Chains A and B, each alone.
Chain A
Amino acid sequence: MRILTFGWEFPPVNVGGLGKACQGLTAELMMQGAEVVFVLPRTQSVDSSMRFIFADIGSQHPAKLYEIDSPLRPYQHAQSLLEVVTPDGRRVRLSRTVIEEVHRYAAKAADIAKQETFDLIHAHDWVSYLAGIAAKRVSGKKLILHVHATSYDQAASDCVDSDICAIEYAAFREADCIVTVSQFTKNVIVDKHNVDPEKVEVVHNGNEVHAPPQHEPTLVAHRLEGKKIILYHGRITVQKGVDYFVRAARRVVDTNPNVLFVISGYGDMKPQIMHLVGELGLSNHVLFAGELWGVERDRLYQSVDLLVMPSVSEPFGLVPLEAIQHGTPVLISKQSGVSEVLAHALKVDFWDIEEMANKMLAVVTYGVLNQQLVSESQKELQTLSWRRAADKVMTLYRRLLAWVTLRR
Chain B
Amino acid sequence: MLTICPYFHVHQPHRVKRYRVFDIGNDSEYFNASDETDLNNGRIVRKVAEKSYIPTNKVLKELLDTHPEFRFALSFSGTVLDQFEMYAPEVLESFQEIVATGRVEILADTYYHSLAFFYSVPEFERQVAKHQQRIHELFGVTPRVFRNTELSYNNDLAKWCEDNGYLGIMAEGWDPILEWRSPNFLYTPTGCSNIKVLLKNYRLSDDIAFRFGNREWASFPLAAETYTEWVRSHHGNGNTINLFMDYETFGEHQWEDTGIFQFLGALPGMLMQEGDITFKTPSETINEYDSVGELDVPHILTWADTDRDLTAWIGNDIQKDAIHKTYELEKDVMRAGDPALIEAWRKLQTSDHFYYMCTKWSNDGDVHAYFSPYESPYDAYIAFMNAMSDLQLRVTEALKRRHVEAEQSLWEQFVVWLKKRCARLPFINRRIHTHTS
B320, B362, B385, B386: which contacts A344 (Cβ < 8 A)? B362
Tell me the bound Cα distance from A219 to B108 in angstroms.
Answer: 58
Given contacts A346-B378, A358-B20, A368-B318, 10 further A-B contacts (CB under 8 A): A347-B376, A358-B386, A362-B21, A362-B382, A365-B21, A369-B318, A369-B321, A369-B378, A372-B316, A372-B359
Tell me the bound Cα distance from A361 to B381 in angstroms.
Answer: 13
Tell me the bound Cα distance from A359 to B316 in angstroms.
Answer: 19
| Shortest beta-carbon contacts, A-B, top 7 | A368-B321, A358-B20, A361-B21, A372-B317, A362-B382, A368-B317, A372-B318
How many pairs, one residue from A and one from B, have CB atoms within 8 Å of each other in the complex? 58
Whether B22 lies near A373 (C-beta < 8 A) is no
Complex: chain A residue closest to B317, CB-CB: A372
Complex: chain A residue closest to B324, CB-CB: A368
Total chain B interface residues with beta-carbon distance under 8 A: 19
Q: For residue A155, give the distance in angstroms from its CB to the closest CB of chain B.
A: 28
Total chain A interface residues with beta-carbon distance under 8 A: 23
Q: Secondary structure of the B side of the interface?
A: helix
Q: For residue B91, give the distance in angstroms from its CB to the closest CB of chain A.
A: 34
Q: List 20 A-B contacts (CB under 8 A).
A: A251-B22, A344-B359, A344-B362, A346-B376, A346-B378, A347-B375, A357-B21, A358-B20, A358-B22, A362-B382, A362-B385, A362-B386, A366-B321, A366-B385, A368-B317, A368-B318, A371-B317, A373-B378, A375-B317, A376-B316
Tell me the bound Cα distance from A366 to B317 in angstroms.
Answer: 11
Tell me the bound Cα distance from A336 to B316 in angstroms.
Answer: 27
Which positions 317-348 of chain A face chain B at CB distance < 8 Å?
Answer: 343-344, 346-347
Identify the A interface with B (CB < 8 A): 251, 255, 343-344, 346-347, 354-355, 357-359, 361-362, 365-366, 368-369, 371-373, 375-376, 380
Whether B22 lies near A354 (C-beta < 8 A) is yes
Identify the B interface with A (CB < 8 A): 18, 20-22, 316-318, 320-321, 359, 362, 375-376, 378, 381-382, 385-386, 389
Q: For residue A183, give the distance in angstroms from its CB to the closest CB of chain B.
A: 15
Tell me the bound Cα distance from A13 to B321 in angstroms.
Answer: 45
Whether A359 lies near B321 (C-beta < 8 A) is no
Complex: chain B residue closest to A254, CB-CB: B22
Tell me the bound Cα distance from A353 to B18 in angstroms.
Answer: 14
Complex: chain A residue closest to B378, CB-CB: A346
CB-CB < 8 A to B381: which residues of A?
A: 366, 369
Tell me the bound Cα distance from A369 to B375 in angstroms.
Answer: 16
Q: For residue A55, give the distance in angstroms from its CB to the closest CB of chain B.
A: 44
Q: For residue B369, give the distance in angstroms from its CB to the closest CB of chain A.
A: 14
CB-CB < 8 A to A375: which residues of B?
A: 317
Complex: chain A residue closest to B23, CB-CB: A358
Q: For residue B366, give the distance in angstroms from its CB to the closest CB of chain A.
A: 12
CB-CB < 8 A to B382: which residues of A?
A: 358-359, 362, 366, 369
Whether A376 lies near B21 (C-beta < 8 A) is no
CB-CB < 8 A to B389: which residues of A?
A: 365
CB-CB < 8 A to A358: which residues of B?
A: 20-22, 382, 386
